[in-house]
């Protein structure tokens, strides 16, 4: 079983996964990973700061079988409907394709 953290953009509904547990990333590291994506949305600085905080606050840590890790959107931000995420991986529960492996543990933070 592997841990990953799923980030979801509230502006465009894209998702991005980071390998490892939430505790392995500092807030500054997470903000640095989110900022380039939000920069594409042409937000002013206060709105970008709010969205960065929102993405990091709503990040979900998941535990999935090792063989499904490569199916996560780890390389880049991907439209939610165009990628595989385990059922229930996002707090809203929207937009994920069916999981090939039914045993998934989900933990907040």
Specify whether the CB–CB gap between 45 and 73 falls below 8 A.
no
Domain ranges of the chain: 2-108
d(CA 93, CA 96): 7
At 17, list the tokens.
Answer: 């996964």
Of 5-14, 16-25, 39-48, 83-92, the least confident: 83-92
Quote the pTM value.
Answer: 0.77
Per-residue burial over 12-46, b if 16 or more Cβ lie within 10 Å, else e, is: eebbbbbeeebeebeeeebbebbeebbeeeeeeee
pLDDT, the chain, mean: 84
Q: Among 54, 17, 24, which Cα is nearest to 38's? A: 54
Predicted local confidence at residue 106, as pLDDT: 53
């Amino acid at each position: 079983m592997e841990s990953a953290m799923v980030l979801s953009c509230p502006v465009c509904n894209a998702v991005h996964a980071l390998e490892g547990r939430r505790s392995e990333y500092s807030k500054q590291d997470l903000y640095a990973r989110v900022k380039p994506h939000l920069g594409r949305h042409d937000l002013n600085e206060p709105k970008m700061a709010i969205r960065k905080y929102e993405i990091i606050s709503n990040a979900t840590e998941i535990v999935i079988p090792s063989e499904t890790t490569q199916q996560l959107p780890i390389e880049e931000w991907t439209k939610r409907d165009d990628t595989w995420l385990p059922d229930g991986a996002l707090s809203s529960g929207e937009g994920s394709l069916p999981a090939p492996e039914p045993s998934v543990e989900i933990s907040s933070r």
